[in-house]
Amino acid sequence: MSRLVEASEIRRFPVELRAEGRTITGLAAPYGVANDVGPFVETLQPGVFAKSIAESARALPLFANHAHDQVPVGKASRWTEAADGLYGEWLMDTRAEAREIVRLVSEDLLGGMSVGFLPIHSDWDNSGDKPRVIRHEARLLETSLVAVPAHSTARVLAVRSAGEPDDTSTRIVATPRLNEFKAWLASVR
């Protein structure tokens, strides 16, 4: 096995997302899962992004489908490292494009998540039929919502608007002109 410094790469990972008004939460990168990415099999070790998120990942951009030539649709607001992966929370922009992305997430059309990163420390094993790499440290560059993630288990769990209760039977809908309408309706009867 050897340690290498490598060029920037993009990997798609499973995601469980919840959009809460202008906030999306999800699993950005699973840890300890061997993932066949085509030319090799890759495993991200727990803590692979620990240094990166501690130093600079707070406001990393969120894109749709790695569209780096477009304005991001959101930015990271919080990261949580767990034994099974890197979880994040992204604040969505208020532009129409970002609202459309939240709609696509809510309709399971963008149910996956992908991370763009720069590998720093990796161990390669070329002894089998296909090379294997274990990522020990990488610099997180961005995250993206994608339609087809690398892992087939990617799925959206829930989509909610800010302030919307979990039980939709108790949903409160703002009706600022309801009394005016009732008064008008009574006057025409």
Q: What is the pLDDT of residues 48-74, one digit of tens each?
A: 999 988 887 678 999 998 888 999 999
Reported pTM: 0.71
pLDDT at 159: 45
Helix (H) or strand (E) holding 25: strand 23-30
pLDDT at 8: 53
Per-residue pLDDT tens over the stretch 143-177 = 889 887 765 443 333 344 454 444 333 333 334 45
Query: What is the band of 178 on the pLDDT scale with cuts at 50, 70, 90?
Result: low
Q: How far apart are CA 132 and CA 43, in angstroms?
A: 8
pLDDT at 56: 73
- Who wins on pLDDT, 178 or 168? 178
Q: CB of 156 within 8 A of CB of 16?
A: yes
DSSP state of 170: G
Closest CA to 16 of 160, 143, 158: 158
Per-residue pLDDT tens over the stretch 29-39 = 888 988 888 89
Q: How far apart are CA 26 and CA 151, in angstroms?
A: 14
Closest CA to 171 of 161, 180, 157, 181: 161
CA distances from 101 to 10, 28, 105, 122, 181 (A): 20, 17, 6, 34, 34
Mean pLDDT value of segment 89-100: 87
Over 70: is that where the pLDDT of 12 sits? no
Average pLDDT, whole number, for the chain? 76
- Who wins on pLDDT, 156 or 81? 81
